[in-house]
Structure 1
Amino acid sequence: MIKILICFSVIFSSGIGLNLYATHHQPVNESNALDLAANSKSAILIERDTGEVLFNKNAQEVLPPASMTKIMTLLLVMEELENGKLQLSEKVRISEKAASMGGSQIFLEPGEEMTVNDLLKGVAVASGNDASVALAERIAGSEEAFVEMMNQRAKQLHLKNTLFQNPTGLPAENHYSTAEDMALLAKELLKYDEITKYTSIYEDYLRKGQENEFWLVNTNKLVKFYEGVDGLKTGFTNEAKYCLTATAEKDGMRVIAVVMGADSTKNRNSDVSAMLDYAYSKYTTKSLFDKNQQVTSFNWLKADQQKVNVITNDSISILHKKAEDLTGIETDVKIDQDISLPIKKGTAIGKLEVKKDGKVISETDLVIEEDMDKAGTFQLMGRILRSFLNK
């Protein structure tokens, strides 16, 4: 067991005002007074880096999420790609079950083979239920096993009011979520920058040049008609009505807007557009650290590679109103006291806390930059000897 404790502070010459509640994801005081999302049963607006809630309307009301369910499906696909268990170029054989899915689809045929890359397009752009099940079966072996993965991941992300019964969002008993949980899920998915390369596509083709060529048109029209929108996922069933989890980025600030239970496509898009307008007219962000930026490093006597770099797990920003003067901000790096070797690249070993007037307003995981194993006996002896001789 290695005993480590590192804690240091950095004082920034400029900071923010008083409206930061990222740690607890609480809404700003004026949130409930805003006349937004009038056409939707529930809604939420958050800034992605800090997680601060800018607007909240019944955001914890349990409702059917329809095809916004596919945000979790996409997250699990991206995680499999990241850990090397799935490749974009891999061809997936389509089962009878996947091909038989109703609702929105890309009209896969039983026995057809399609690359993971094209199936991802089918999910992200056309909301294909058949493509979602095909990817689920490839990753977990069956749709049922994949649903277990979805619910386990939901627990890990502390989505307290979410339960999935399928990877598509097709109507099912006890299949539910909330606007708040959808925003947190989208926040996690957006750690993968490349996902917006798919969700921002407005139109494309599958099987281009073949007899069964299929034209993909994005179900999220805002990617074409609202500047900065590059995702994320629409939803509709008779029970859920019109839903949308949208994300946009302007001037370095990314926000997530979720509406559920809107009464029409037009009103759904109008509600989201108004929420985005509000965010970009009132707020801006100041970047502190980029994703994967080195924050510190230290020496581990008992590790095979003695010098270890510690990096951010996500981008870190502070959010403030455009009219506010910036004041001092403090950051603390805290590394866990007990770390056991070996540990894998990407394992969280501490936190970077952003503080305002001594109060923690946000915290982000710090991770190890590369795999670390135990040093061999001769390595340890050599280091101890060199340390002794250098005294």
Structure 2
Amino acid sequence: MYKKISVFFILSLFIISVGSVFGLKAKIGFAEPEINVTSKSAYLMDADSRTVIYKNNEQKRAPIASMCKIMTLLLSFEAMDAGELSIDETLTISENAAGMGGSQIFLETGGEYKVGELIKGITVASANDASVAIAERLAGSESSFVDKMNEKATALGMNDTVFVNCTGLPKAGQYSCAKDVAVMFSELIKHKAYFNYSGIWMDEISHPKGRITQISNTNKLIRFYSGCDAGKTGYTSEAGHCLAASAKRNGMRLISVIISAPDGKTRFKEASSLFNYGFDNFTNKLVVDCEKPLDLTIGVKKGRTDSVKVKTERSVYIFSEKSVKHAVELSFTPTCDAVAPIKEGDILGTLSVYDGGVEIDKVNVIAMESVNEKNFWDGIVDVTQNWSIAQ
């Protein structure tokens, strides 16, 4: 049978489940951040809880230059996860892809390159030619791929974004905003394979005819800011100097977005200032780890085993100012009878997270393993064992 639990523990944290820190400032007394940002738009958020720490013109629509490639990369890694693209697959480069201007890795028309090399070129060198090559592979043409980009943007709630190409090269009607960039970048960094490329400082691309193209990361923070391991720059005269970057310290990952800084140095300086403010003043505590079983036994009826291990469908974090203390309570509630057969991933209940008696989060509790239904012979064994015990 099910067991309802209520676990109480104290954390030196204040709980914010959703929403903007500044939207709650009047209630919890957050100090106004002393950050001097000259860029036209800026945004800082916690990557796990998506709590907003700082925002300035976050929904102002503007061109974002090569930060459009964040979506190109996101769709690429999603295709890999779905088995639709392999990192070791070889692509033949079209004349259209090889002829792209702007930042590039100088792909050869008709040349064969591994997908991994193209992903590296996009991530490290912001390569337009590699971006179009991937787009053509995944959708047949860049225009069809752009349709997929916009579909994904809609699915993510990026209401102030329209893509017109996969590179970010200047074109009328293409725009986004700091908030939307943070949203799509937070989706990209969920893919662990992305970090195999995002932290590369210097490398090279080998071409079929023997040429070597040296590349260096356009995101200078991976070398000069402690904890920064991912990012995407962008620049055109229309967009100005742009940057989306992520840094992690002491288990807390932040995302910083800068749009239309006056120069390249300023975008890195202001992103660093945002990171410093976040790391100096806030913390993000992992309360429930979805990779580990809950300390909870759920009995199974008619199963070949009497119980099933469970975990939460996603991890639960507590984001807060460092200085505040609050109490947190967890409570499990079953949503159905645990009757075999049970499949791994089946929802068996919910885990509610409370602060001061107020529910601030709820997450599904799922089976970590499958439990088969007892068959005829299992019944015979049970009867035999019970008879032996009775003797």
Q: CA offsets, 1:109-153, max 9 Å, x none?
A: 121111111111111100111111111222222222222222222
In the TM superposition, 1:7-86 aligns within 5 A as 8-17=5-14, 20-27=15-22, 29=25, 33-36=32-35, 38-86=37-85
Distance 1:123 1:231 in 2: 13
Distance 1:387 1:358 in 2: 47
Q: Quick check: 1:89 aligned with 2:88? A: yes
Amino acid of the residue matched to residue 10 of structure 2? S
Aligned counterpart, 1:319: 319
Aligned length: 379
Distance 1:385 1:337 in 2: 24
Contact 1:21–1:362 (Cα < 8 Å) also in 2: no
Question: Which moved further from structure 2: 223-232 or 277-286?
Answer: 277-286
Contact 1:299–1:308 (Cα < 8 Å) also in 2: yes
Question: Which moved further from structure 2: 303-312 or 250-259?
Answer: 303-312
Aligned counterpart, 1:270: 269
What SS is found at the alignment partner of 1:268? Answer: helix
How many Å apart are 1:23 and its aligned residue? 2.0
Contact 1:47–1:256 (Cα < 8 Å) also in 2: yes
Aligned counterpart, 2:389: none
Contact 1:41–1:261 (Cα < 8 Å) also in 2: yes
Aligned counterpart, 1:240: 239
Distance 1:129 1:161, change over 3 A: same
Distance 2:64 2:381 in 1: 60
Contact 1:205–1:213 (Cα < 8 Å) also in 2: yes
TM-score between both structures, scaled by the size of structure 1: 0.82
Aligned counterpart, 1:120: 119
What SS is found at the alignment partner of 1:174? Answer: coil
Q: Quick check: 1:138 aligned with 2:170? A: no
How many Å apart are 1:269 and its aligned residue? 0.9
Aligned counterpart, 2:193: 194
Distance 2:172 2:34 in 1: 33
Unaligned runs of 5+ in 1: none
Q: CA offsets, 1:335-389, max 9 Å, x none?
A: 7769xxx99987988765533223344556766657x79x7xxx57649968996
Instruction: Give the percent of matched residue pairs that are identical in Structure 1 and Structure 2.
Output: 37
Contact 2:20–2:53 (Cα < 8 Å) also in 1: no
How many Å apart are 1:235 and its aligned residue? 1.0
Aligned counterpart, 2:293: 294
Distance 1:110 1:157, change over 3 A: same
Distance 2:342 2:272 in 1: 44
Q: CA offsets, 1:85-118, max 9 Å, x none?
A: 2221111111222112221111111211111111
Contact 2:162–2:175 (Cα < 8 Å) also in 1: yes
In the TM superposition, 1:149-168 aligns within 5 A as 149-168=148-167
Contact 1:23–1:360 (Cα < 8 Å) also in 2: no
Distance 1:131 1:328, change over 3 A: same
| Greater gyration radius | 2
Contact 1:37–1:259 (Cα < 8 Å) also in 2: no
Contact 1:98–1:131 (Cα < 8 Å) also in 2: yes
Contact 1:161–1:176 (Cα < 8 Å) also in 2: yes
Unaligned runs of 5+ in 2: 387-391
What SS is found at the alignment partner of 1:56? Answer: strand
Amino acid of the residue matched to residue 58 of structure 1? N
Distance 1:113 1:297, change over 3 A: farther
Question: Which moved further from structure 2: 142-151 or 57-66?
Answer: 142-151
How many Å apart are 1:308 and its aligned residue? 6.3
Aligned counterpart, 1:261: 260
Contact 1:196–1:232 (Cα < 8 Å) also in 2: no
Distance 1:32 1:263, change over 3 A: farther
Contact 1:308–1:369 (Cα < 8 Å) also in 2: yes
How many Å apart are 1:36 and its aligned residue? 2.5
Amino acid of the residue matched to residue 273 of structure 1? S
Contact 1:105–1:128 (Cα < 8 Å) also in 2: yes
How many Å apart are 1:263 and its aligned residue? 1.0
RMSD (Å) for aligned C-alpha atoms: 3.7
Question: Which moved further from structure 2: 274-283 or 74-83?
Answer: 74-83
What SS is found at the alignment partner of 2:247? Answer: strand
Contact 1:67–1:236 (Cα < 8 Å) also in 2: yes
Aligned counterpart, 1:223: 222
Distance 1:335 1:189 in 2: 34
Question: Which moved further from structure 2: 213-222 or 98-107?
Answer: 98-107
